[in-house]
Amino acid sequence: MSHVKIIPSTDKNYARNITQENMVIYYQKRKIEWDDQLFEQSWKDFDNFEVWCDQTRVGVVRFCIDDQDCRLRDLQIETNSQGRGIGTACLDFARQYALDNHCEKVWLRVFPENPAVKLYERAGFRTYSSGDDLCEMVMDYL
């Protein structure tokens, strides 16, 4: 497996761009318009990290803490870097981040047809609720 390093991020333009690129097919399908004001506010409210692999920036991971739960708000990996174990390393980081912040669970939301659902299940997430437009998943056992 490649060497993955996750560090705090200050580059919101990179985070915005990779999120828009990765999510465009899901947004188009649901006729969701990108909301730049919402992104700007989330950048201020969330803990934002860059994902590096073998000295190349390949993604972002973003969190917020809600009561005693950790919310994985974004996990975006460059398309050409997917399938290399980077997402798994990010989920290991998410588990540790939650523990470090005294959280009892890690939550995330994902579009149900997103292939990342399988990654989340392998990492220990289970489906909490699911509909046509959104699947909420939780990792209970940190």
Give the count of domains, the chain. 1
Which residues does 78 contact at the CB level (< 8 Å), separation at least 6?
Answer: 18, 58, 59
The boundaries of the domain holding residue 32 are: 4-139
30/53 Cα distance (integer angstroms):
32
Helix 12-30, helix 36-45: angle, nearest 10 = 130
| Residue range 29-58, pLDDT digits in tens | 999 999 999 999 999 999 999 999 999 999
Q: Are 95 and 107 in contact (CB under 8 A)?
A: no
Q: What is the residue whose two structure tokens read 């409210």?
A: 45
pLDDT category, 67, cuts 50, 70, 90? confident
Output the domain CATH number for residue 31.
3.40.630.30
Per-residue DSSP letter, 134 = -
105-110 and 56-66 strand pairing: unpaired
